[in-house]
């Protein structure tokens, strides 16, 4: 009740009247999950939630591109919260569909709400609207959330990591990265627009992507610290549960594989996309996953361009590594040179894609296509066409 009340209060303060756009689908999904059969609950929950979210995104498109009005910041916060709500609704409905969790389906008994059903309602709404989840991840399953809340009733907390130290550590990292992001942003503001100048364009696009990456890293750390403060996402020695996190800065900044970057970026969201789309898609699962991600993000021109390009570069990247690894397996020097070269390529390709996705508008997409940085993802697209599909070794 505390987490639910905190979520409702924060929604009202930060979203204003737009909070109703989050409350309606949360209540609707609760009704669907409690009245539909498990075999059909996921399809209906998925379609209704994505339809609602798409209508909200289309309204944003109408204001941005047709009316050319400045978007209310409260509406943008609401859209972000609605996207996170979609993750929780669809993951829970799929859990019900797969039999991982069960919910009572009896609605009335002697004209009074059944106590088990009332408990299920409150537990479900608490999960959908608890205040840390309204504004950020990582994504916790309904089962994990329910177990955590029920464990709070006990008195033996000796095996659970103290939440204060993870909270302080991530808060300090959040502050440091936020200051660094402001420094990078001030540098970018002093630069001119993109031109066909190879060193300048490459540096500007990479630094711009660094600013966006720092923004994501700091936001993920802040969200995780708040979740840790209420005991979520911490290591549990009794169940050998590891800490749940979206932030793996070391892997993201050192990997030489675009596919590994895609799996690690916003990790719980990547796992959600893999489960919701990739594992259930029968036709072109990789392309379907990135296309759905563009739909989930809002279908802005830069997002469509960036995510489709990302899918192509991930596919090409897997072909390249499988092809080259078999050629340089015995040479230590060649392996070092190859990893260094592909690390630079990964940094530049992911920087180009991230800038396209974040800047969103068609004019910025054209500017990126005309810049020198377009050469790097174009190389991957050409290699995807030229390199044969080499089968994996057993």
Annotation marks residue 297 as catalytic: yes
Phi and psi for 248 in degrees, rounded to 5? Answer: -130, 75
Closest CA to 201 of 375, 83, 384: 375
Which residue out of 34, 297, 300, 380 is catalytically annotated? 297
Give every CB contact of residue 192 below 8 A, 6+ residues apart in sequence.
none
Q: How many angstroms separate the CA atoms of 257 and 318, rounded?
A: 8
Helix axes 115-129, 73-97, angle to 10 degrees: 130
d(CA 123, CA 130): 10
Report yes or no: 204 and 170 within 8 Å, Cβ to Cβ: no
Based on the residue annotation, tell me whether 110 is a catalytic residue of this protein: no
Separation of CA 68 from chain center: 28
Name 109's bridge partners: 112
| Cα–Cα distance for residue pair 298/93, rounded to 1 Å | 22
- For residue 221, which of 170, 295, 273, 160 has the smallest C-alpha distance? 170
Given 223, 227, 266, 300, the catalytic residue: 266
Which residues are tagged catalytic? 266, 297
């Amino acid at each position: 009740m505390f987490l639910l009340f905190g979520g409702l209060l924060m929604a009202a303060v930060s979203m204003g009247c737009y909070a109703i756009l989050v409350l309606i689908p949360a209540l609707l999904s609760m009704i669907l999950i409690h009245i539909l059969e498990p075999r059909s609950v996921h399809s209906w929950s998925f379609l209704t939630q994505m339809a609602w979210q798409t209508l909200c995104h289309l309204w944003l498109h109408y204001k941005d591109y047709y009316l050319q009005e400045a978007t209310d910041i409260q509406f943008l916060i609401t859209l972000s919260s609605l996207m996170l709500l979609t993750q929780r609704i669809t993951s829970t409905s799929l859990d019900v569909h797969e039999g991982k969790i069960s919910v009572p389906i009896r609605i009335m008994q002697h004209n009074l709400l059944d106590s088990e059903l009332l408990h299920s309602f409150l537990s479900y709404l608490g999960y959908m609207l608890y205040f840390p989840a309204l504004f950020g991840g990582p994504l916790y399953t309904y089962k994990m959330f329910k177990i955590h809340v029920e464990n709070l009733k006990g008195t033996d907390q000796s095996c659970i990591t103290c939440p204060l130290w993870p909270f302080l550590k991530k808060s300090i990292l959040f502050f440091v990265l936020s200051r660094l992001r402001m420094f990078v942003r001030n540098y970018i503001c002093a630069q001119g627009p993109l031109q066909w100048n190879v060193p300048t364009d490459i540096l500007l696009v990479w630094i711009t992507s660094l600013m966006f990456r720092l923004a994501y890293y700091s936001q993920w750390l802040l969200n995780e610290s708040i979740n840790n403060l209420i005991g979520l996402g911490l290591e549990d020695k009794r169940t050998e549960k590891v800490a749940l996190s979206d932030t793996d800065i070391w892997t993201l900044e050192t990997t030489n594989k675009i596919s590994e970057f895609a799996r690690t970026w916003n990790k719980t969201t990547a796992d959600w996309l893999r489960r919701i789309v990739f594992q259930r898609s029968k036709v072109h699962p990789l392309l379907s996953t990135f296309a759905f991600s563009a739909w989930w993000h809002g279908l802005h021109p830069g997002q469509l361009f960036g995510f489709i390009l990302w899918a192509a570069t991930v596919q090409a990247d897997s072909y390249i590594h499988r092809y080259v690894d078999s050629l340089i397996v015995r040479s230590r020097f060649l392996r070092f040179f190859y990893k260094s070269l592909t690390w630079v390529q990964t940094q530049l390709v992911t920087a180009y894609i991230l800038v396209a996705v974040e800047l969103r508008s068609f004019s910025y997409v054209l500017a990126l296509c005309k810049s020198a940085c377009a050469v790097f993802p174009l190389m991957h697209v050409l290699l995807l066409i030229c390199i044969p599909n080499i089968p994996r070794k057993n």
